[in-house]
Amino acid sequence: MSLKGRSRFRLLVVVAAMAFFITSCQSKKPASDEAVLPMDRVAPSPSGSQTILHKTFSVTASTSFPFEVPAHAAMPHLHGNYKSFVKQISADASDDSANVDFLILKEDQYSDFLHGHAGEAVFSADASHDQEVNFSLPASQDQPQKYYLVFRNGPGGSTKKVVQADFTVDF
């Protein structure tokens, strides 16, 4: 090969190498939102606490309190306690006649409950007048999840009960 041919060959190699490096350094276009499924999206988990219930109330048949776990809550946790009484709130009023059932229901379970259909509950504590609750709820994925705390008067005992409850959800 002549000197002129070698120069052209070197120039061609240099140009090809530069073109290769330039195209490899360009950033790739991100995938469009349409190609990513909602469940595949990663979002930061919310953090904090929410007081759900801190009150004294009456239960004749049942009483419910809705609450919501925000979207992307990785490890929501419900904790609290309740005490039920037949008459007024006093230490000697707590006995088996003051028992109430406690349920945690998802939205569809609550709908069934309202229509008189007995079904599964996320959590339940039957016939108690003094109960501590410490329960981890399922992760909420990409949508907020609505739940209901339900206090139900059991058969027998007094027809009207007073409940003192204090519940918080951490996420």
21 within some domain = no
Per DSSP bridges, beta strands 145-153 and 62-69 are antiparallel
What burial class does residue 31 get, using C-beta atoms within 10 Å of its C-beta: 0-12 exposed, 13-18 middle, 19+ buried? exposed
Q: How many domains does the chain have?
A: 1
pLDDT at site 62: 93
pLDDT at site 83: 96
pLDDT at site 45: 61
149 within some domain = yes
- The answer, as to whether pTM is greater than 0.75, is no
User: What is residue 99's DSSP assignment?
Assistant: -
Residue 148: CB atoms within 10 Å: 20
pLDDT at site 147: 97
80 is in which domain, residue-wise? Answer: 48-170
43 within some domain = no
38 within some domain = no
26 within some domain = no
What is the mean pLDDT for each group of 10 consecutive residues in the chain (171 residues)? Answer: 69 69 61 59 70 96 95 93 79 71 96 89 91 95 93 78 96 88
Residue 10: CB atoms within 10 Å: 10
pLDDT at site 67: 97
146 within some domain = yes
110 within some domain = yes
pLDDT at site 77: 96
112 within some domain = yes
The CATH number covering residue 57 comes to: 2.60.120.1060
pLDDT at site 21: 66
